[in-house]
Amino acid sequence: MKAVFLDAATLGEDVDLSPIENIAGGLTYHPRTNPEQVIQRIQGFDTVLVNKVVLNGEHFEACPELKTIAVVATGLNNIDLEAAKAHDIKVMNVTNYGRSTVAQHTMSLILALATRLLDYNRGARNGQWAKSDMFCLMDYPIMELEGKTLGIVGYGNIGMQLGVIAEGLGMKVQFFDVVNKLPLGNARQLGSLDSLLAQSDVVSLHVPETASTANMIGAAQLDRMPRGSILINASRGTVVAIDALAERLESGQLSGAAIDVFPVEPRSNDDEFVSPLRAFDQAILTPHIGGSTMEAQENIGMEVAEKLARYSDNGTTTSSVNFPEVALPEHAGCHRLLHIHRNVPGVMSAINQVFSDTGVNVSAQFLQTNEAIGYVVIDVDAEYSDVALRALADIDATIRSRVLF
């Protein structure tokens, strides 16, 4: 494996990347990479690590040796997944490094809004408390969370973790997901987003960035929420229509909102953070830090290294987001061949005919496909012929074939 990291500085100084260095046998670092530098910097490497750098078909066409892209974050909007798939490039991301971290951050935002923490902090500091006729300052109504209903949109790892935390505070938990999920604790699944919005005192969003989630919380959805309710978004910046949210904060339809991700975020020191939500004290804005505890940052290097190792060592692709998923056992005393092909009829028959014609014994075979690609892993006896390998590469629908070990 020969690996390069195009924007290592975007992870900060606390991330330990030595596990990746150990797996890759070294790692070339670039603190940041401008768009015009990408092709030059990835040429000659089979593995590229990125955080924010955009990679597309132009780059893949210029670098035929590229086999794997590891995104050291959860979001994948900077990678052209279809172009990567067309060039037989596996794309993986990190999804487990910050599950508890994001849930913790989300709950801290809920608590801060419910208790009006920032308002009372400001009141204690600016002399407002001293002017109160009471022993305490009670200018801002506080919501008690026990008995209130939390609605979670997207019941994945983070949503589940958040639900467990919320139940510990006495909240009722309900969720909406496009897939039927087995709930944890006493959480219950609702059949529609509209039902969840209408029945929740606090709504927290935990969905991926897709075409179907773009602006999924707009004016109509915000108006379905009970007056005085709270909205949290620590998922993706494109999920909430920010202007509509600002209008509902202005009107009092929502008593508060907390946003950690935004449609447009600063990319450099020269970019100003622009958002209409900056005008509202009842909006808590955090700079995309939901998954940024020291512990979570440390987990990134370990998770990326583990996923790279599984693919490079035995061909397992369960961590790939754009490739058929195959989980593979070890087979001692065998050679492992990988064959990636267009998903068209007759390919498997042609592959097996190759082995029959060349007298190579197949010990095990694993096939998985998606709508465009077939991925077959073949374990053969230790003695195999170069003729068979060349014949595999010559099958019409072949994209790439190689010996793994």
pLDDT tens sequence across 311-321:
776 677 777 88
State whether 105 and 76 are in the same domain.
Answer: no
Structure tokens at 391: 């014949």
Catalytic residue, chosen from 167, 209, 265, 306, is 265
C-alpha span between 251 and 248 (Å, rounded): 5
User: What is the predicted pLDDT for the residue at 357?
Assistant: 86
More confident site: 371 or 235: 235
* The amino acid at 32: R
Q: Checking DSSP bridges between strand 172-176 and strand 398-403, what pairing results, if any?
A: unpaired
Selecting among 32, 122, 288, 400, the annotated active-site residue is 288
273 and 182, same domain (yes or no): yes
Strand 172-176 relative to strand 28-29: parallel, antiparallel, unpaired?
unpaired
Q: Residue 187 has which token pair?
A: 């959480």
- Tracing tokens 């006896």 back to the chain, one arrives at 381
310 inside domain: yes
Mean pLDDT of 200-225: 95
Domain at 87, CATH number: 3.40.50.720
Residues 74 and 138 in one domain: no
Is 327 domain-assigned? no
195 and 110 within one domain: yes
**Is the same domain home to 48 and 144?**
no
How confident is the model over 102-128, as pLDDT tens digits?
Answer: 999 999 999 999 999 999 899 888 888
Q: Region of 9 please: left (phi>0), alpha (psi -120 to 50) or beta.
A: alpha
Phi and psi angles of residue 368, each rounded to the nearest 5 degrees, phi first: -145, 145
Do residues 7 and 39 make contact, with C-beta atoms less than 8 angstroms apart?
A: no
Task: Provide the 3-class DSSP secondary structure of residue 372.
Answer: coil
48, 112: one domain? no
Say if residue 367 is exposed, middle or buried (CB neighbours under 10 Å; 0-12, 13-18, 19+).
Answer: middle
* Angle at the Cα of 247 from the Cα atoms of 242 and 248, rounded to 5 degrees: 95
In a domain, 329, yes or no: no
In this structure, is residue 326 part of a structural domain?
no
Residue 30 covered by a domain: yes
Same domain, 222 and 79: no
Confidence (pLDDT) at 32: 92
pLDDT mean over 278-297: 89
Residue 40, by phi and psi: left (phi above 0), alpha (psi -120 to 50) or beta? Answer: alpha
Claim to verify: residue 338 and residue 304 sit in the same structural domain: no
| Cα–Cα distance measured from residue 197 to residue 139, given in angstroms and rounded to the nearest whole number | 28
Reading the block at residue 29, the tokens are 């670092």
Residue 320 located in a structural domain: no
Strands 149-153 and 202-205: parallel
- The most distant pair of C-alpha atoms in the chain lies apart, rounded to whole Å, by 95
CA nearest to 364, candidates 314, 313, 320, 399:
314
pLDDT at 36 over 80: yes
Name the most confidently modeled range: 245-254, 377-386, 389-398.
245-254
49 and 308 Cβ atoms separated by less than 8 Å: no
pLDDT of residue 328 exceeding 70, the answer is no
Residue bearing the bigger pLDDT, 358 or 66: 66
Under a CB-based contact definition with an 8 Å cutoff, are residues 219 and 246 in contact?
no
| Residue 227 annotated to the active site | no
Look at the block and give the residue holding tokens 């927290």. 204
Give just the sign of the alpha carbon dihedral 274, 280, 286, 290: negative
Q: Quick one: 165 and 128 in the same domain? A: yes
Q: Are strands 254-259 and 188-189 parallel, antiparallel or unpaired?
A: unpaired
Same domain, 132 and 220: yes
Per-residue tokens: 259: 């946003």
Helix, strand, or coil (residue 192): coil
Query: Could you tell me if 9 and 152 lie in one domain?
Result: no
The boundaries of the domain holding residue 206 are: 99-292
What does pLDDT average to over the chain? 89
Which carries the bigger pLDDT value, residue 333 or residue 167?
167
Q: What is the pLDDT of residues 213-262, one digit of tens each?
A: 999 999 999 999 999 999 999 999 999 999 999 999 999 999 999 999 99
The residue among 314, 344, 379 that closes a domain is 314
Which pLDDT band, with edges at 50, 70 and 90, does 11 fall under?
confident
Nearest to 235 by CA among 258, 194, 259, 206: 206
The confidence score (pLDDT) of residue 145 equals: 97
Answer whether 343's CB lies under 8 Å from 369's CB. Answer: yes
Indicate if the pLDDT at residue 331 is higher than 70. no
Assess whether 265 carries a catalytic annotation. yes
Closest to 185 in 3D by CA, of 205, 202, 208, 162: 162
Residue 50 or residue 325, greater confidence: 50
Contact at 8 Å (CB) between 114 and 254? no
Is 224 catalytic? The answer is no
Question: Tens digits of per-residue pLDDT, 140-190?
Answer: 899 999 999 999 999 998 999 999 999 999 999 999 999 999 999 999 999
Asked whether residue 225 is domain-assigned, the answer is yes
Same domain, yes or no: 164 and 233: yes
| Number of independent structural domains in the chain | 3
**Is residue 347 in some structural domain?**
yes
Residues 6 or more apart whose Cβ sits within 8 Å of residue 36: none
Residue 361: predicted pLDDT: 84
Tell me how far apart the alpha carbons of residues 207 and 111 are, in angstroms, rounded to a whole number. 21
Distance (Å, rounded) from C-alpha 335 to C-alpha 392? 15
Whether 282 has a pLDDT exceeding 70, the answer reads yes
CB atoms within 10 A of CB 243: 12
- The catalytic position among 41, 206, 236, 339 is 236
CA of 89: how far to CAs of 14, 84, 315, in Å? 29, 5, 13
